[in-house]
């Protein structure tokens, strides 16, 4: 009786250990598979863009946030210019280089109200609505998107001539500033988009 019990006990123990080891092995394999299937999310790194922030801040209260309309029926998004009279100034620009990989902008109104928007399509320069600057903006946008160096050079000559035809001294000053900022951007795009083209690309 004791020998039988001993045999059963040893057999049971062996089976138990085998099952446990197999379970640990399967569990470890599942964890590895999950790790391979769902790679680790890169750590978010936030960088304050000092040079760009200071440049855009110098423009003063010339910016407005876009209004976003969501259409549930056809699952579409419509981005419109804001009809509100409140103008904003750029307080700071931050770059998110992890999983988000985007740029955020903090705007502040004259009354101190702060909002955070996307650098790409969250706000725009209200001077972009000036009639005499419409064609300037159109050509500058084309230059920004172009990869053809010869064409860019020709377009800059054309752009300079277009600016010379602007009658308003105030509008011409805005166009000249944008022209210089665009030249700086083409040379090194880390200098940031020209102020006039914010929200236009």
Residue 126 DSSP class: G
Task: Categorize the per-residue pLDDT at 167 as very low, low, confident or very high, splitting at 50, 70 and 90.
Answer: very high
**Are both 93 and 166 inside the same structural domain?**
no
Give the C-alpha separation, 52 to 184, whole Å: 12
**Are both 114 and 58 inside the same structural domain?**
yes
Mean pLDDT of 138-151: 93
**Are both 36 and 46 inside the same structural domain?**
no
Evaluate whether 49 touches 103 at the Cβ level (below 8 Å): yes
* The last residue of a domain, from among 126, 156, 190: 126
- Per the prediction, the chain carries an average pLDDT of 82
**Are both 58 and 33 inside the same structural domain?**
no
Count of domains forming the chain: 3
At 45 the pLDDT is 83
Maximum distance among all Cα pairs of the chain, rounded to whole angstroms = 113
Evaluate whether 158 touches 22 at the Cβ level (below 8 Å): no
**Are both 134 and 119 inside the same structural domain?**
no
**Are both 108 and 83 inside the same structural domain?**
yes
**Are both 115 and 45 inside the same structural domain?**
yes
**Are both 56 and 106 inside the same structural domain?**
yes
Give the C-alpha separation, 131 to 150, whole Å: 29
**Are both 52 and 20 inside the same structural domain?**
no
Mean pLDDT of 109-136: 94
Considering only residues 99 and 182, tell me which one the structure prediction assigns the higher pLDDT. Answer: 182
* Packed helices 149-164 and 169-187: angle between N→C axes, nearest 10 degrees: 170
Evaluate whether 166 touches 134 at the Cβ level (below 8 Å): no
The position carrying tokens 């059963």 is 8
- Residue 101, sorted as left (phi over 0), alpha (psi -120 to 50) or beta, turns out to be left
Q: Note the pTM of the prediction, 2 decimals.
A: 0.73
**Are both 57 and 97 inside the same structural domain?**
yes
Considering only residues 30 and 175, tell me which one the structure prediction assigns the higher pLDDT. Answer: 175
Give the C-alpha separation, 84 to 94, whole Å: 25
Residue-number span of the structural domain to which 23 is assigned: 1-40
**Are both 112 and 140 inside the same structural domain?**
no
Residues 44-97 pLDDT 10s = 788 999 999 999 999 999 999 998 776 666 666 667 787 778 999 999 999 888
């Amino acid at each position: 009786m004791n020998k039988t019990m001993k045999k059963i006990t040893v057999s049971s123990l062996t089976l138990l250990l085998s099952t446990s080891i197999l379970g640990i092995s399967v569990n470890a394999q599942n964890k590895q598979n999950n790790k391979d299937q769902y790679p680790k999310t890169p750590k978010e790194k936030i960088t304050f863009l000092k040079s760009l922030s200071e440049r855009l801040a110098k423009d003063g209260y010339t910016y407005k946030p876009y209004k976003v309309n969501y259409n549930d029926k056809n699952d579409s998004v419509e981005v419109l210019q804001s009809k509100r009279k409140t103008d904003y100034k750029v307080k700071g620009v931050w770059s998110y280089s992890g999983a988000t990989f985007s740029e955020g902008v903090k705007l502040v109104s004259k009354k101190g109200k702060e909002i955070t928007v996307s650098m790409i399509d969250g706000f725009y320069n209200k001077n972009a609505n000036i009639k005499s600057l419409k064609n300037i903006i159109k050509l500058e946008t084309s230059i920004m998107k172009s990869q053809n160096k010869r064409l860019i050079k020709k377009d800059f000559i054309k752009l300079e001539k277009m600016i010379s035809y602007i009658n308003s001294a105030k509008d011409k000053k805005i166009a000249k500033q944008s022209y210089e900022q665009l030249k700086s951007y083409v040379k090194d795009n880390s200098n940031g988009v020209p102020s006039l083209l914010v929200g236009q690309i």
